C-alpha cells in the first residue's frame, strides 16, 4: 500500500518538531506536520521560554539593591511592562520563525491547521483535505484548566499571563505546584502585591520536604502572602476588581486571579474514538515503552501522554521514536533520574529521590548544609541556600540531590550526570572543591546530618 507520507506529525511543539525534522532530515523519510496554533508549542510560546525571560526581568530590582551594597551608585527605577512585553513578543516571534525554518530546511511539509485522525493511516485537515501516512505521531501537548467554581471564568491561566495589558496592583495566584510558585515570584519581583492560595499543607508537592520548605520560607520572606490549606470558594466581579471568597473565611479584592491548578492532555477531538487508541483516566493517550499506542501505526509523545511533562523529555521521546521506527533501533524511553529545575525565587534543582521517597525504599544517610551565600550575605540579605545529598547505606550511591540556591538549575544539570552514572558519596568526596562557590559544599559534606 502506498501512502502520501512516511510520517504525519500532529502538533508543532518541541517534541513533534524534533521528531519530524530528524525523521525527514536524517533518515530521508517523507514527513508532514500539522499545527493549528503557533509553532514551538507550550514551551516556546506560552511556557518555559517566556516564563524564564520573565524570571530574569523580575530579578533586577534585587540586583539594584545588591549593587548599592557593593558600592555602586545605582538608583532603582520603575519597571515598564510595556517595554518588556514588546521585546518578549518580538523574541517569541523570532523563535517561532526558527522552528518553521527548521522544518522547511529539513524538507518537512507543514499545514497551519488542525488535523484529526480518520483511521489508522489517515488524517483529515480542517479544510477537509485528507492525507495518508504509514505512521502517525500525536504530539499535541496539554493545556491548563480552571477549577469548577462559581466565577472561575473571571480568572486567567498561565496561557494568558504573558498577554496582560498592564500589570495588576494586587494579584491572587491559586495553586501550589511549580507553575504557581514560579509566577508568584515573578509577579512579586515586578512589583505586584502577590497573594497565593494553596489547598495543601505545603507547596511543591512531590519534591523533597526540606527543599520545598526552604523555598516556601524564602517566598514569604520576599513578600509573597502565602496561605496554605486555603482554596477559593467563589469569585465575582466588583467594578474593575474580582472579589474572592476563600475557604479560610477571607474575602479580598484582586485586580487579577491566576489559576495554576492543573493541566490536561490535548487528546480530545482528535478522532481517536473508535480507532482502538486507549485513553487513560486523565484523558491521556496510553502508550508503551516505545511510545506506541494500541494501534500499531499510531504513536504519541510529550504531555499528551502524561508521563513526565517536561520539554526535554518530549524531545527525548521524539528522538527515541525516530530511532525505533525509522532507524530500526528499538529504543525505549528512559524516564529515570531526570534532572529538574524549578524557577522559583530562590531557584530549586533536583534529581533522583527525595529524602522521603528514598527512606521508604531503603536505609539512607542524609548529608545536608544550609547557609548564607557570600554574595548576598555581603549585601546584607539574609537569604539561605540548601545543598543536600541522599545516600544509600547499602551501596553508598547518591540516590538524590536537592539544591535550593541561585543558579540551582545550572548546578543540577551537571550533578545529574554524576547521579545518572551511579556515583557514590565517595566519588563526590574525591572531587576537589571549586572555591569559593556555593556548589563546593556538595563535595565537602563529611558527616551525615541524620539517617532515615
At 29-67, the pLDDT tens digits run 999 999 999 999 999 999 999 999 999 999 999 999 999
Q: Tell me if 74 is assigned to a ligand binding site.
A: no
Question: What integer pLDDT is reported at residue 100 of this predicted model?
Answer: 98
Residue 52 assigned as binding residue:
yes
**Strands lying side by side in the sheet with 193-198:** 225-228, 193-198, 170-174, 256-259
Is the dihedral angle over the CA atoms 207, 209, 212, 216 positive or is it negative? positive
**CA-CA distance, 347 to 219, in Å (whole number)?**
11
Percent of the chain beyond pLDDT 70? 100
| Cα 433 from Cα 445, distance rounded (Å) | 11
Q: pLDDT band at residue 156, thresholds of 50, 70 and 90?
A: very high
Distance CA 393, CA 451 (A): 9
Q: Tell me the C-alpha distance between 285 and 266, whole Å.
A: 9
User: Which H/E stretch holds residue 368?
Assistant: strand 364-371
Alpha helices in 28-174 (DSSP H): 41-46, 48-58, 60-69, 81-105
Q: Does the pLDDT value for residue 1 go beyond 90?
A: no
What is the SS3 assignment for 160?
coil
Q: Which residues of 405-443 form beta strands (DSSP E)?
A: none
pLDDT of residue 50: 98
Which domains, from first to last, does the chain contain?
Answer: 5-143+264-327 (3.50.50.60), 147-260 (3.50.50.60), 339-451 (3.30.390.30)
Question: Inter-axis angle of helices 209-221 and 178-189, to 10 degrees?
Answer: 20
Is 179 annotated as contributing to ligand binding? Answer: yes
The 3-state DSSP class for residue 376 equals helix
| Dihedral, CA of residue 173, residue 181, residue 191 and residue 378, to nearest 10 | 160
What's the CA gap between 151 and 237, in Å, rounded?
A: 8
Q: Global pTM?
A: 0.96
pLDDT of residue 382: 86
CA nearest 376: which of 412, 409, 405? 405
What's the pLDDT tens digit per position in 204-254?
999 999 999 999 999 999 999 999 999 999 999 999 999 999 999 999 999
**How, if at all, do strands 130-138 and 5-10 pair?**
parallel
Confidence category of residue 106, pLDDT binned at 50, 70, 90: very high
Q: Do 353 and 209 form a contact (C-beta atoms < 8 A)?
A: no
**273 vs 128, higher pLDDT:** 128
Integer Cα distance of 35 and 77 in angstroms: 42
- Rounded CA-CA distance 315/20 in Å is 11
Per-residue pLDDT band for 20 (boundaries 50, 70, 90) equals very high
Quickly state the pLDDT bin for 346 (edges 50, 70, 90): very high
Residues in the chain: 452
Phi, psi of 48 (to 5 degrees): -50, -50
394 in Cβ contact with 451 (< 8 Å): no
pLDDT at 427 over 90: yes
Contacts of 272 (CB under 8 A, 6+ apart): 117, 279, 285
Q: Is 224 within 8 Å of 144 (Cβ atoms)? A: no
Q: Do the beta carbons of residue 55 and residue 343 sit within 8 Å? A: yes
Q: Which residues on adjacent β-strands are paired with residue 387?
A: 369, 403
Place of cell 530528524: 22
| Residue 262 assigned as binding residue | yes
Task: Give the percent of the chain with pLDDT over 90.
Answer: 98
Q: Is 16 annotated as a binding residue?
A: no
Mind listing the pLDDT tens digit for each residue in 352-391? Answer: 999 999 999 999 999 999 999 999 999 998 899 999 999 9
Catalytic residue, candidates 163, 227, 402, 435: 435
Structural contact between residues 419 and 402, judged by C-beta atoms closer than 8 angstroms: no
Cβ-proximal residues to 107 (8 Å cutoff; 6+ apart), any chain: 24, 25, 31
pLDDT of residue 273: 86
Cell of 332: 525505549
Gyration radius of the chain's alpha carbons: 24
β-bridge mates for residue 170, sequence order: 193
Q: Known binder of ligand: residue 372?
A: no
Find out whether 349 is annotated in a ligand binding site: no
Q: Is 402 a catalytic residue?
A: no
Condensed to tens digits (0 to 9), the pLDDT of residues 244-295 reads 999 999 999 999 999 999 999 999 999 998 899 999 999 999 999 999 999 9
Q: Residues 179-194: what's their mean pLDDT? A: 98
8 A C-beta contact, residue 197 and residue 361: no
Amino acid at each position: 500500500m502506498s501512502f502520501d507520507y512516511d510520517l504525519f506529525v500532529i502538533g508543532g511543539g518541541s517534541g513533534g518538531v524534533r521528531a519530524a525534522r530528524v525523521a525527514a532530515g536524517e533518515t530521508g523519510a517523507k514527513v508532514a506536520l500539522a499545527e493549528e496554533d503557533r509553532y514551538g508549542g507550550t514551551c516556546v510560546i506560552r511556557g518555559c521560554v517566556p516564563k524564564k525571560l520573565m524570571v530574569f526581568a523580575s530579578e533586577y530590582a534585587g540586583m539594584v539593591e545588591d549593587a548599592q551594597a557593593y558600592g555602586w551608585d545605582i538608583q532603582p527605577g520603575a519597571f515598564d511592562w510595556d517595554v518588556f512585553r514588546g521585546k518578549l513578543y518580538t523574541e517569541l516571534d523570532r523563535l517561532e520563525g526558527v522552528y518553521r525554518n527548521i522544518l522547511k530546511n529539513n524538507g518537512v511539509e507543514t499545514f497551519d491547521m488542525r488535523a484529526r485522525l480518520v483511521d489508522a493511516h489517515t488524517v483529515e485537515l480542517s479544510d477537509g483535505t485528507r492525507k495518508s501516512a504509514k505512521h502517525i505521531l500525536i504530539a499535541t501537548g496539554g493545556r491548563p484548566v480552571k477549577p469548577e467554581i462559581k466565577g472561575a471564568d473571571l480568572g486567567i491561566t498561565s496561557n494568558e499571563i504573558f498577554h496582560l495589558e498592564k500589570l495588576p496592583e494586587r494579584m491572587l495566584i491559586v495553586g501550589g505546584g511549580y507553575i504557581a510558585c514560579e509566577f508568584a515570584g515573578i509577579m512579586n519581583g515586578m512589583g505586584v502585591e502577590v497573594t497565593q492560595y494553596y489547598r495543601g499543607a505545603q507547596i511543591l508537592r512531590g519534591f523533597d520536604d526540606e527543599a520545598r520548605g526552604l523555598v516556601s520560607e524564602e517566598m514569604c520572606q520576599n513578600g509573597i502572602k502565602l496561605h496554605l490549606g486555603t482554596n477559593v470558594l467563589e469569585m465575582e466581579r466588583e467594578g474593575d476588581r474580582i472579589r474572592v471568597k476563600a475557604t479560610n473565611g477571607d474575602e479580598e479584592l484582586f485586580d487579577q486571579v491566576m489559576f495554576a491548578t492543573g493541566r490536561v492532555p490535548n487528546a480530545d477531538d482528535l478522532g481517536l474514538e473508535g480507532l482502538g487508541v486507549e485513553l487513560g483516566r486523565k484523558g491521556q493517550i496510553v502508550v508503551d515503552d516505545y511510545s506506541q499506542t494500541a494501534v500499531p501505526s499510531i504513536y504519541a509523545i510529550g504531555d499528551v501522554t502524561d508521563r513526565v511533562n517536561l520539554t526535554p523529555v518530549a524531545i527525548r521521546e521524539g528522538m527515541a521514536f525516530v530511532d525505533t521506527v525509522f532507524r530500526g533501533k528499538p529504543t525505549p524511553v528512559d524516564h529515570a533520574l531526570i534532572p529538574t529545575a524549578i524557577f522559583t525565587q530562590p531557584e530549586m534543582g533536583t534529581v533522583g529521590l527525595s529524602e522521603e521517597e528514598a527512606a521508604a525504599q531503603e536505609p539512607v544517610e542524609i548529608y545536608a548544609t544550609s547557609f548564607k551565600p557570600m554574595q548576598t550575605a555581603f549585601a546584607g540579605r539574609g537569604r539561605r541556600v540548601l545543598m543536600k545529598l541522599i545516600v544509600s547505606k547499602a551501596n553508598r550511591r547518591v540516590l538524590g540531590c536537592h539544591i535550593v540556591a541561585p543558579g540551582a538549575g545550572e548546578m543540577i544539570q551537571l550533578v545529574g550526570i554524576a547521579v545518572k552514572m551511579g556515583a557514590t558519596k565517595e566519588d563526590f568526596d574525591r572531587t576537589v572543591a571549586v572555591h569559593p562557590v556555593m556548589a563546593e559544599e556538595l563535595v565537602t559534606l563529611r558527616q551525615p546530618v541524620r539517617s532515615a
